[in-house]
Structure 1
Amino acid sequence: MTSGTVYGVGLGPGDQDLMSVRADRLVRTARHVAFFRKAGRPGQARQIVNGMIMDTAIEFPMEYPVTTEIPLSDPRYNEILSQFYTNCTAHIRSLTDAGEDVVVLCEGDPFFYGSFMHLYTRLSGDIDVQVVPAITGMSGAWTATGAPITWGDDILSVLMGTLDEGTLASNMANADALVVMKIGRNINKVRRALKTAGKYDAAYLIEYATMPNQTVQKLTDAGAKVTPYFSIIVVHGQGRRP
């Protein structure tokens, strides 16, 4: 029996119209569809493809055992997640061993800070794993602001809001253009770091980029509200131009 193939399919930032032709075809014809989600939630990747999956498709929701319940610094965090990814891999491998193809839905691009990478490293090498690239969420975010993110020789830095405040501030100060992802509960820390770096007044907050509930505003106008996980902060570069 010929083994099946695993497809890590990038769905783009959230708008179905921004999916690639190949991603659209794979999603619409998939017999087995896997996706990550938080327990009790529908899953953002799954929501992006609502109405596209065949009624006969078999879905495999991979529910994270932890998200923010345990600090990243706690050794248990990696232990629990490592076992989780191993279990997910075993199920997907059982399908490919039976000759079935599996489409894994990935928000944004599969190789850009996505959970799919943890499956890829466990599966690639002994089964066929194909990755379908996509528009990243940050691209959708800076486009939503209506201004270019970089000019000329600008240096673009991409930072995670989960970093410690000092690391955030020093990297922000050294960047010409800036993207900060994984905001959520880290918003106040990110605000302080931007102020330390002298970039707070130039920052934009984009929530749910390219999705129907997208919002774009200056960070200074956002108030003290807690932003959702799917939010991105950008600071535009002001470099060389003709």
Structure 2
Amino acid sequence: MRCHKFFLPVLLVLISLPALAFQHDSEAKAEVPALSDFHDVIYVIWHEAWPAKDHAKLRSLLPDIEKGAAAVISAPLPGILHHKKSAWDDGLQALKSTVEEYRTAVKAENNEALMAAAEKLHSNYERLVRVIRPPLRELEDFHASLYMLYHHHLPAYDLAKIKSSSAELKQKMTGLEAAKLPDRLSAKKQDFDKARQELATAVAALEPAVQSGDKAKVTQAVEDVHSRYEATQDLLAR
């Protein structure tokens, strides 16, 4: 009986570990699966029904639109995108309004309003995609590792995981240093190069701090990397 009482809590902990790992992995990915799924019906609208002015097809898509939009609206925004919540919520509100316009046009059999609502729906979808799409893939890849370090490993002061994250950031910094800004951000190149160099300096200082094992030094080094990352991210987001 004592063995059973001892092993049951241990078993429950072991069972919960994969779920916790999955939760953390999902939290660190800048994606909303429901929005990706919604693209299926948006594609049919924008590339098939709308250009062909196929009003019957557009009307028939209403149930799929309602289902997909509801899934997007109820989908949680991953923790790594918490700083985008205001823009995301604004986009969701616009999506709700447009779905209602689409529904009204279908019920009224108003083809002109239906075409306008379909175009607007596509625009709203693209707006939500832009909210979660990173301005630079290499910077978002860097952020995925920094997020786990800053919000999970450092607060728990799990030194083994902090060391692992430090190594990941060093590797990802190499990719970020080689990254080129897209043409639409070319005007920010000089400021970005300066911010990126300051971030690289902070990342380089993280490794010796972690190796020292001094909690105060580790904490300060992580804070420095985080603040330099935020400065770089904010520069591109402006």
TM-score, length basis structure 1: 0.24
Say which structure, 1 or 2, has more relative contact order (CA 8 Å, 6+ apart).
Answer: 1
Higher strand share goes to which structure? 1
Higher helix share goes to which structure? 2
